[in-house]
Structure 1
């Protein structure tokens, strides 16, 4: 990577900023300071605590962010719904506190307007179908509150959708799971297939009438991890029109990083802690383990390897990026925080990616997919809201 390629990368991002598919800042704020935004003022440098703040978003050329309103799968039923509402409230509080930099967005036109206004379009995605407690009415309520994608599962399988990292319960999507997808299509909410089992991916692609999204998943052929996307699914994206947004989580990028992660996770679990915890005790314990057992050095070039392969299989019109910042303990070298996107763009420029291709990767594809969901909803406007229940469809 040369200074010239970095300069070109920054110029390109000024014209075609990054739409990042997934950032867990709201959960980090919940865990660290119980949403006390004054205690984590992201108008200033928060690099001691977070991957994300406004100065670094600006430095990274981020023009639109899907903020994850994730809640852990350990929260079930109404508790999961309430916590999701609290996450939505936190995103609204962020956009209200920083109006010169963050602009609420619900549509593709809103994204374009924010870019024209020099602000960062702030959208929301719910991470895990447990957030709706098997209720299509709750799904509709989340949409009305501004949620524009829902990841069908998180790490645990649901009665109606199987996760990539749990035992199957539904053999992909159950009948109710298919109805969830259809109702999301009717609303204009993107179906997010990160975290789900390959069987769920294939079922959703079969059922969905709108383009789907992988908000933060990379290539399984490059790194054999169940959280990544198999080639047959990537190859089906052009038919659907969807977008796969490569993620930066080291254990999804390289196999040796995944093996280190498993050992570190076991070490922390023995102490009652988790790798994804952002609380001070967990962070200190993880750093102590890293000091004694240095992790493999994953780099922006390794992420670019995924994008090269994904472009070959799915085509340039079906790629994006979803860093998963503040939802992972640390990022690759060069992509340690949200300021690192120019390093990835510079790496891809060095590999011969054209500026037109990079504009699709960073901005155009994601905007097109959201617009596609809106157009599908318009086409389905005469379809009545579904009143189906899990018990009715799945017995």
Structure 2
């Protein structure tokens, strides 16, 4: 069993989001012993806007090394995020490479704390010495432009999943956030992208894309897919960003896994509706030629008028329960979206220190240890291993 880090009371007070009292000793022990894999943490985007040394405690962020070790996090997928606006401006390629540079710099700065992870076969070897492993997931396929060869370029840089689209329809696929699709699912180029990702061993991530696009992916892919950070639409019927039951079952049928997010917009029907409303208004303002300053002002005013609800771990546990009953224990995992939801998170799940609180909740609901280990990371590693084995080398 790995050594459990002992943190001082001062560190706990500074961090603010360490809810050690909410987790039992048994939950903390299992969180340290299990392999925890979180498939979506937005640290690179924040490093791009402001460099923080995540090897030390950074209270204003939700991911850093001390709290990752406190929470038992082993594999933290770094999200290489580019927006639809950056795609339109032609800057997505540069920004993606810059964010990868930041992650590499973090590892070079702290080789005793972090390691880049490019294969599931290396997890046990690289996490020795209490290292936190950092695989790369690209959130939005925009950086590849219309050049299929750039998939190999990013694979060589360490990218191991790609979320095909984000907030807007792109060259590859329609976005779940758009009321009107451009392609009716995947584009012809998008079909080639999926096939090439299969060939290379890059995981296809269906979070953020439209229902029709997911159906197209499942029709074309030769290997399982994942949803890196999604919720269940059963709880948020008007929020197309979350996954409906029929598609969740289809993803599971093909061997894939649904990684459930912690952000309150994924969990609460009213906030999900408001999030969709804000996005629709911003899209309309963009089409009307409003300035970025005007759009920022609207967004801030909307957020102030519609504060996020106070929610607790039970809301995430309810999603897990529902997903497990729907698709089976082998097809559910976690993709928190830490550092990507502006702190709009359940009270007991405010940072990477807090996975033991989730474990405690699962234990209280009667999940067996073996099944908790699957949810925490075993399912994702199984899928990644299968995709890697079936890739052409």
Give the TM-score, by structure 2 length: 0.86
Alignment correspondent of 2:72: 61
Alignment correspondent of 2:35: 17
1:235-261, CA deviations, whole angstroms, 9 ceiling, x for partnerless residues?
123331111100011111111222454
* Cα separation, 1, equivalents of 2:251 and 2:24: 31
State how many pairs are aligned.
Answer: 362
Within 5 Å, give how 1:62-101 maps onto structure 2: 62-76=73-87, 78-101=90-113
Alignment correspondent of 1:258: 272
* 3-state SS of 1:173 partner: coil
Alignment correspondent of 1:388: none
Preserved CA contact (<8 Å) 1:222 1:305: no
How far 1:116 moved relative to its partner? 3.9
Alignment correspondent of 2:367: 353
Q: Which runs of 5+ in 1 are unaligned?
A: 277-281, 382-395
Pairing partner for 1:192 from 192, 205, 213? 205
How far 1:314 moved relative to its partner? 1.2
Q: Choose 313-322 or 184-193, whichever is displaced more.
A: 313-322
Preserved CA contact (<8 Å) 2:45 2:81: yes
* 3-state SS of 2:32 partner: helix
Alignment correspondent of 2:384: 370
Q: Which runs of 5+ in 2 are unaligned?
A: 1-18, 283-291
The answer to whether 1:243 aligns with 2:257 is: yes
Distance 1:264 1:184, change over 3 A: closer
* Cα separation, 1, equivalents of 2:307 and 2:173: 37
How far 1:169 moved relative to its partner? 0.8
Preserved CA contact (<8 Å) 1:5 1:349: no
How far 1:175 moved relative to its partner? 2.2
Within 5 Å, give how 1:27-176 maps onto structure 2: 27-31=45-49, 33=50, 36=51, 40-47=52-59, 49-76=60-87, 78-166=90-178, 167-176=180-189
Pairing partner for 2:214 from 188, 192, 201? 201
Preserved CA contact (<8 Å) 1:257 1:298: no
How far 1:332 moved relative to its partner? 1.4
Pairing partner for 2:296 from 268, 273, 294? 273
* Cα separation, 1, equivalents of 2:253 and 2:53: 43
How far 1:56 moved relative to its partner? 1.0
Give the TM-score, by structure 1 length: 0.85
How far 1:148 moved relative to its partner? 0.3
* 3-state SS of 2:81 partner: coil
Please give the root-mean-square deviation of Cα atoms over the aligned residues, in Å: 2.5
* 3-state SS of 1:65 partner: strand
How far 1:160 moved relative to its partner? 3.1
Alignment correspondent of 1:341: 355
Alignment correspondent of 1:297: 310
How far 1:4 moved relative to its partner? 9.2
How far 1:216 moved relative to its partner? 0.3
Q: Choose 155-164 or 233-242, whichever is displaced more.
A: 233-242
Preserved CA contact (<8 Å) 2:37 2:376: yes
How far 1:174 moved relative to its partner? 2.2
Q: Choose 229-238 or 112-121, whichever is displaced more.
A: 112-121
Preserved CA contact (<8 Å) 2:37 2:75: yes
Pairing partner for 1:182 from 183, 195, 216? 195
